[in-house]
Structure 1
Amino acid sequence: MPTWFCSRAWFSHVGLFDEGGQGVPEDLLFFYDHLRKGGGVVRVDQSLLLYRYHPRAATHSILETTIWSHRVRFLEEWALPRWATFTIWNAGRQGRRLYRSLTPGARAKVVAFCDVDENKIKKGFYCYEDSKERPKPRVPIVHFRDARPPFVICVKLDLTGGAFEDNLQSLNLREGRDFLHFS
């Protein structure tokens, strides 16, 4: 589970937690404010802290849909304006969910889904059936080697025995510029 920390001075600069009550992901909202105010992130690939959840932790009162909505809105506000178009890496459930969750303007920037699943690729496209647009949007599904960056990646890490990570590394992309993880 990722965790982060900052100095007390920076905490005061960013502002207080949004203590809007039960069900508000105040740590996530604070993190987004940290980024909006120019804060950075340094990744450390080792355990620096060990903690545990308890059954009555406030974390459990926050709906997954609430967190998803905040994450999608922040993606649209902070990352997607830098890209004229992008590809969603995963034509499966999470990738399609992200596509459907985007605003129409952000959805219009999606040029393709990419995947490794031959069945999805053979289908050739994803049709957004619930769209009010006519004709309904049809987004191509291509093999990841045929896709073009930037990518919003909707694949969880460490679930494929390293196959996904190897595929991503084979493209020689830079995180933050050529792709973002959204999973």
Structure 2
Amino acid sequence: MKTKIILISGLAILLVASVITLRGQEDELSGVDLDQDKPKYEIQLTEEEWKARLNPLQYAVLRQQATETMFSGQYDKFYKKGTYYSAASLQPIFSSDTKYDSKSGWPSFWDPISDDAIRLVKDTSEGMVRWEVVDSKSGSHLGHVFEDGPAPTGLRYCLNSAALIFVPEGGTPPKFKKDNN
């Protein structure tokens, strides 16, 4: 019984000492971004707002990292001139000038429209390491990038059609019906 009391007392003393130590460090920690490794995105919506903005397939792909069945997307074998926009943020992300037939079953591009249109996020799901391609304004899932593409980049940005909105050359960029941001 005495051993249990001593152990519990010792743990209580350690706990109090830890709290006192942390409180003493509060001034040092204020101003430090504890979430600095988590990317910050310009567009921040609740899941309900995303569900209202996107159709069910878009929501599954863009917000839940789903993948369309290969060869099922509307832009897989689609080669009109124009610009591909993110269905999440409506920012331009890829041009038809860099689109090619990778024979993978998904729309593929060898380069984004600009360096800041997308971000790459390490993806270790499904027992492998890949690089997820996300919309730089919302962090929404677009697809993955692989190192088996054509010159000049050698990259294959393999995307989901549901994540994209195509606007023909000279067309009007898309706008949200209800602009939440």
**TM-score w.r.t. length of structure 1:** 0.26
Query: Going by fraction, where is strand more abundant, 1 or 2?
Result: 2
More helix by share: 1
Q: What TM-score comes out, normalization by structure 2 length?
A: 0.26
Using CA pairs under 8 Å that are at least 6 residues apart, name the structure with larger relative contact order, 1 or 2: 2
